[in-house]
Structure 1
Amino acid sequence: METTDKDLEELKFPIGQFICPDPISKQHIKSWTEVLERFPKHLNALVKPLTDHQLNCEYRPGGWTVRQVIHHLADSHHHSYTRFKWTLTEDAPLIKAYNQDKWADLEDAKHSHISASLLHLEAIHKKLVCLIRNLEESDLNRYFVHPETNRKVYLKENIGIYAWHSQHHYAHIVKALEQKGWITL
């Protein structure tokens, strides 16, 4: 069966793209922070029982493997945490972007065991949630500048982006496993 553009878009964005509410309320921040807090536990429960064969399946044609997605999550969320710290300690920092596709194509992302990335995600999320829960409104309104778009990204928005990012890639993994008939949720 041929994959249509609509099918491919749904495989790329199974929960849709992130749409930032305007304004961002305290309830949004609370809800997103809870997603970030729970995410490592939910991801661990989903992926720890997987075999190497299952970890090496793609979530969409030409896409990353489940293993690469897990390693990408650790890399990306580490960058996010660093961006939070820069933004809280510098005035409107220009962050360093990275090529996520090239990172996902490195040997550690393609072949290493997922346990290190799962531990890293657990640690980085604990630190990030602790940081977020202690931010003042003025902190939430601080921003960094992304070099590829020259756009200001406010910390309160970045919380939502990474809550979405967590759920987005979790859905990729679920879809990959469902398509193979390995799970049904």
Structure 2
Amino acid sequence: MQTILCNNVVLCSILNHARKHISLFLINPYLSRKAKQMPNKARVAIKVFDVETSIAFYTKFLNFELVEFQPNAGIAYIRDSDHDLLLLTPPHLEDPRSLLDEPRIVFKPGDTLDFSVDTFETQHARLVEDGLSNMRVEENERGERKLLVTDPNGYHFVFVIPVKRSPEAMRAAYAGLSDEITAALDGLTEADLDLERTPNEWSIRQIIHHLALSTSLSLMPIETVLVNPGSVFVRPTYDQEKWVEVLDYKHRPIGTSLALIRAVQAHITQLLLHVPNSWDHSIVRKFTSEDEGHTTTLSDMIAIQIEHTTAHLDEIRQTRKIHHR
């Protein structure tokens, strides 16, 4: 399952590519938030069991817009509430990436797609009125509320209200992430690190290695926006699952990854103190030099790191609760 935590589906697939929980806030937490125009080609594909049934569900309950349905090919293009173009594909189309633009993210049934919203009370009331029963409201340890909707394919759409923080509060929240990770792991044995929330999801061990990767990858763009605001930053996409396999996330001890996370976060926290008044500074993120790119601010980057990390810590806590650890 993958997790994307973001204002839109594309915004979250690159940073938070957790197998069973993809927050569309995390593909790339910067991909669409500042987009200047609607994309002409989908960057994200969603594999569904039945395209027409999925179209009906997404347009009725999630207010997505049908852009094009190609019955002969069995595919459809829909636009989500943030104007991101999504490709719906049937099971027999094994690899739809040739139909996508970078970063070419493909979701599978069971994945979680997170959206950031200002409020979901109105949406929740409308869904109840429309007769949708497969949803629930949850609240985490920080008092943040989420509306969870499950579609006919088993995808989990999570609508979250992001916490609005001042620069000082955001810096403090970021600085405390390492301690939150330590607390989330407190008392676990080496064997406990291999526990999964559900079968085929990432284990606690794999989540920690993933956080080490995403934290380390955040360093260069953050330093770039501090030193050269307004510049272009190019970072090619990568095959998330290949990194997980080749770098042996499943078996490696987590000590070095924890040390890396703490060091990078301490370094960035120090930079935020020594380069003040930079929160609104921005860079243009690109996957290739030819890509149009999307603008993201320092505030965006730090907020995404906080959201990404805390989302995975929630997964670890849920895993511990399930296994009574």
TM-score w.r.t. the length of structure 1 is 0.78
Per-residue deviation at 1:53?
2.3
2:171 — aligned with what? 33
Higher strand share: 2
Structure 2 residue 249 is matched with structure 1 residue 109:
yes
In the alignment, the residues of structure 1 paired with residue 160 and residue 226 of structure 2 have an alpha-carbon distance, to the nearest angstrom, of 27
Q: CA RMSD in A?
A: 2.8
Q: Which has the higher contact order (CA 8 A, sep 6+)?
A: 1
Alignment correspondent of 1:74: 212
Aligned match for 1:86, one of 224, 245, 264? 224
Question: How far, CA to CA, are the matches of 2:161 and 2:213 in structure 1?
Answer: 19
Question: Is the alpha carbon distance of 1:84 and 1:67 closer, same or farther for their aligned partners in structure 2, counting shifts above 3 Å?
Answer: same
- Secondary structure of 1:62's partner? coil
Aligned equivalents of 2:303 and 2:161: distance in 1?
Answer: 8
Whether the 8 Å contact between 2:233 and 2:285 is mirrored in structure 1 is yes
Partner of 2:202: 64
| SS class of match (1:140) | coil
> 2:316 is aligned with what amino acid?
I
Specify every segment of 5 or more residues in structure 2 that has no aligned partner in the other structure, as ranges: 1-109, 111-133, 135-148
Question: Are residues 1:165 and 2:303 paired?
Answer: no
Does the 8 Å contact 2:226/2:278 carry over to 1? no
Cα distance, 1:99 vs structure 2: 3.1
Deviation of 1:123 after TM superposition, in Å, equals: 0.6
C-alpha contact 1:92 1:142 (8 A) present in aligned 2: no
Task: Note the 1:1-185 alignment, pairs <5 A.
Answer: 6=150, 9=156, 19=162, 27-90=165-228, 91-138=231-278, 140-147=280-287, 150-182=293-325
Measure the CA separation in 2 of the matches of 1:97 and 1:74.
Answer: 17
Q: Tell me the distance in 2 between the aligned counterparts of 1:63 and 1:95.
A: 27
Deviations 1:125-156 (A, max 9, x none): 10011112233435632224142883222111
Task: Look up the match of 1:24.
Answer: none
Q: Which ranges of structure 1 fall in alignment gaps of 5 or more residues? A: 22-26
Deviations along 1:35-88, whole A, 9 cap, x unmatched? 221111121132253223211112344221110100110110000112112333
- Taking a change above 3 Å as real, the CA distance of residues 85 and 62 of structure 1, as seen in their structure-2 partners, is same
Larger Rg: 2
Q: TM-score, normalised by structure 2?
A: 0.47
8 A Cα contact 2:225 2:281, kept in partner? no
Number of equivalenced pairs = 171
> Which is further off, 144-153 or 51-60?
144-153
Displacement, 1:28?
A: 2.9
Which is helix-richer, 1 or 2?
Answer: 1
Q: Matched residues in 1 for 2:238 and 2:270: separation?
A: 25
Distance in 1, Cα, partners of 2:254 & 2:186: 8
